[in-house]
Amino acid sequence: MLTSPAALNLLFASTKEDPQRWRRLLEPALPQDRLFAWPDVNGGDIDVALVATHPQGTFAQLPRLKLIQSLWMGVENILADTEVPRGVPLARLIDPGMVHAMAETVIASVLDWHRQRHVYRAQQRARLWKWQTQLLPSDRTVGLLGLGELGSYAAARLLALGFKVCGWSRRPRTIDGVHCSTDLDEILSQSQAVVCLLPLTAQTRGVLNARALARMPRGGCIINVARGAHLVMPDLIAALDSGQLAHAYLDVFETEPLPADSPLWAHPGITVTPHIAALTEPRTAVPKIVENIERVRRGEVPLNLVDFSAGY
């Protein structure tokens, strides 16, 4: 005899993501389940929490959770919540649309620096008609800090454009065409452009400091699309002002939104974007979330689980 699959209670809990936008895609994909939106926690009877910057106190009210599914790729603010039940699996979202968007942002920034468009923008403001030296992509090495989902995909796209690519990871990695190393100094010393795609952990906080920036060849650029706390801002400013760095592309900041009176907005060596390097794309994310919910329904281990001890 066929039995109908168990219905699950899902909770959407986010201070940043719009529940209606997700509801339109999640409900047709999970017709047997019930989707609640914080603060309606169905009396605590919730099986799966879908979270991105969740409201404080969310987890204290969810004693029967089987899965915490992040709606974002970075999970440091979930891990920082001491109420997160350590026995409940926490899954990251690996959203193909977001991975692609991040590669586009990395390429846009690398090309802006490589084609010296940041220099030509300054020349335009000064009404200066002057050619800069043109280099080939193969004259440049781009170093990726982090060779995970985002870093490894961006690496492939940069290789396709003709750049030399190297990258740093915690454990040894092999990626076709990419010089991979677990030695940060080795990667920094050969990278004219450094792209930060690390998770924020105790080990990676402040990794881009004066010492690290000094290891890079003079005149390079930093592209920080991971988290603001990876980069020590006074050290970056000093490196830009001394000419050690030519430019910095900053998408993420320790305080977001970046305060209107921050000197970073007007620094000639900095391009600021408002944490948009890669936004979650519900159309490509929902199938991945549904896959994990179906795994919970079948009693299987969900995909993309966070290693609590590693912090990502």
Which residues are catalytic, by number?
227, 275
Q: Can residue 89 be called a binding residue for ligand NAP (CB under 6 A)?
A: no
Q: What is the footprint of ligand NAP within residues 121-160 (CB under 6 A)?
A: 146-151
Structural contact between residues 77 and 53, judged by C-beta atoms closer than 8 angstroms: yes
Structural contact between residues 91 and 69, judged by C-beta atoms closer than 8 angstroms: yes
Structural contact between residues 194 and 165, judged by C-beta atoms closer than 8 angstroms: no
- State which of residues 117, 157, 179, 275 lies at the interface with ligand NAP (CB under 6 A): 275
Q: What is the footprint of ligand NAP within residues 95-124 (CB under 6 A)?
A: 98, 102
Q: Can residue 180 be called a binding residue for ligand NAP (CB under 6 A)?
A: no
Q: Distance (Å, rounded) from C-alpha 197 to C-alpha 102? A: 10
Query: Residue 182 Cβ, how far from ligand NAP at the closest point, in Å?
Result: 7
Query: Residue 15 Cβ, how far from ligand NAP at the closest point, in Å?
Result: 17
Query: Residue 30 Cβ, how far from ligand NAP at the closest point, in Å?
Result: 24
- Name residue 233's amino acid: M
DSSP 42-93: GGG--SEEEEESPPTTTGGG-TT-SEEEESSS--HHHHT-TTS-TTS-EE--
Query: Residue 129 Cβ, how far from ligand NAP at the closest point, in Å?
Result: 36
- Sorted by sequence, the CB contacts under 8 Å of residue 147 that are 6+ apart come out as 155, 167, 168, 169, 173, 175, 178, 180
Joined tokens for residue 47: 């099986």
Q: Distance (Å, rounded) from C-alpha 69 to C-alpha 94? A: 11
| Mode of pairing for the β-strands spanning 48-52 and 67-70 | parallel
Q: Can residue 225 be called a binding residue for ligand NAP (CB under 6 A)?
A: yes
Residue nearer to ligand NAP on the CB measure, 187 or 293: 187
Contact range with ligand NAP by CB under 6 A, out of 20-28, 208-216, 221-229, 285-293 = 221-229
Q: Which residue is nearest to ligand NAP (CB)?
A: 148
Tell me the residue length of the chain: 312
Query: Residue 1 Cβ, how far from ligand NAP at the closest point, in Å?
Result: 43
Residue nearer to ligand NAP on the CB measure, 147 or 240: 147
Q: Can residue 252 be called a binding residue for ligand NAP (CB under 6 A)?
A: yes
- State which of residues 89, 199, 220, 302 lies at the interface with ligand NAP (CB under 6 A): 199
Residue 12: CB atoms within 10 Å: 23
Q: Distance (Å, rounded) from C-alpha 9 to C-alpha 48? A: 7
Residue nearer to ligand NAP on the CB measure, 132 or 203: 203
Residue nearer to ligand NAP on the CB measure, 20 or 309: 309
Q: Distance (Å, rounded) from C-alpha 213 to C-alpha 200? A: 18
Q: Can residue 200 be called a binding residue for ligand NAP (CB under 6 A)?
A: yes
**Helix axes of 149-160 and 96-114: crossing angle, nearest 10 degrees:** 50
Query: Residue 154 Cβ, how far from ligand NAP at the closest point, in Å?
Result: 9
Q: Can residue 173 be called a binding residue for ligand NAP (CB under 6 A)?
A: yes
Residue 178: CB atoms within 10 Å: 21
Q: Can residue 198 be called a binding residue for ligand NAP (CB under 6 A)?
A: yes
Structural contact between residues 253 and 229, judged by C-beta atoms closer than 8 angstroms: no
Q: What is the footprint of ligand NAP within residues 1-60 (CB under 6 A)?
A: none
Q: Which residues bind ligand NAP (CB under 6 A)?
A: 73-74, 98, 102, 146-151, 168-171, 173, 197-201, 203-204, 225-227, 251-252, 275, 277-278, 312
